[in-house]
Amino acid sequence: MWAVASHVLKNKITRKKRYPLVLMLEPLFRCNLACAGCGKIQYPGHILKQELTPEQCFNATDECGAPIVSIPGGEPLMYSKIQEVVEGLVARKKYIYLCTNAVLLKEKIDLFKPTKYLTFSIHMDGLEEEHDFAVCREGVYKDALEGIKLALSRGFRVTTNTTLFEGARPVRVREFFDEMTALGVEGMMVSPGYSYSKAPDQESFLHRERTRGLFRRILAAPRKGWRFNQSPLFLEFLMGVEGRDYHCTPWGNPTYNLFGWQKPCYLLQEGYAETFDELMETTDWDQYGHDKNEKCRDCMVHSGYEATAVDQTFGSLRGFLATVRATLLGYRWSGDGAVENSAGAADRDEAVEPAAADRTEVVSCGAARTETKA
Q: Provide the binding-site residues for another protein, judged by CB under 8 A.
A: 30-37, 39, 41-50, 133, 136-138, 197-198, 200-204, 258-260, 271-272, 362-369
Which of helix, strand or coil describes residue 276?
helix
Q: What is the DSSP letter of 196?
A: -
Which residue lies nearer to another protein by CB, 3 or 363? 363
CB 270 within 8 A of CB 264: yes
Q: Residue 99 Cβ, how far from another protein at the closest point, in Å?
A: 17
C-alpha distances (whole Å) from 94 to each of 43, 71, 89, 90, 278 are: 30, 12, 5, 6, 23
C-alpha distances (whole Å) from 297 to each of 196, 207, 290, 293, 361 are: 11, 8, 4, 6, 11
Q: Residue 139 Cβ, how far from another protein at the closest point, in Å?
A: 8
Q: Cis peptide leading into 74, omega within 30 of 0? A: yes
Which residue lies nearer to another protein by CB, 328 or 357? 357
Q: Residue 214 Cβ, how far from another protein at the closest point, in Å?
A: 18
Q: How many CB atoms lie within 10 A of CB 291?
A: 9
Q: H-type helices in 116-187, by residue range?
A: 128-134, 140-153, 170-183
Which residue lies nearer to another protein by CB, 338 or 363? 363
C-alpha distances (whole Å) from 35 to each of 134, 138, 198, 243 are: 7, 12, 13, 36
Q: Residue 75 Cβ, how far from another protein at the closest point, in Å?
A: 10
> Whole-angstrom Cα distance, residue 250 to residue 266?
8
Which residue lies nearer to another protein by CB, 61 or 269? 269
Q: Of 97, 80, 110, 90, whose CA–CA distance to 25 is shortest?
A: 97
Q: Residue 322 Cβ, how far from another protein at the closest point, in Å?
A: 38
Q: Cis peptide leading into 76, omega within 30 of 0? A: no
Which residue lies nearer to another protein by CB, 259 or 320? 259
Q: Residue 298 Cβ, how far from another protein at the closest point, in Å?
A: 16
Q: Residue 199 Cβ, how far from another protein at the closest point, in Å?
A: 8
Which residue lies nearer to another protein by CB, 31 or 233? 31
Which residue lies nearer to another protein by CB, 23 or 35? 35
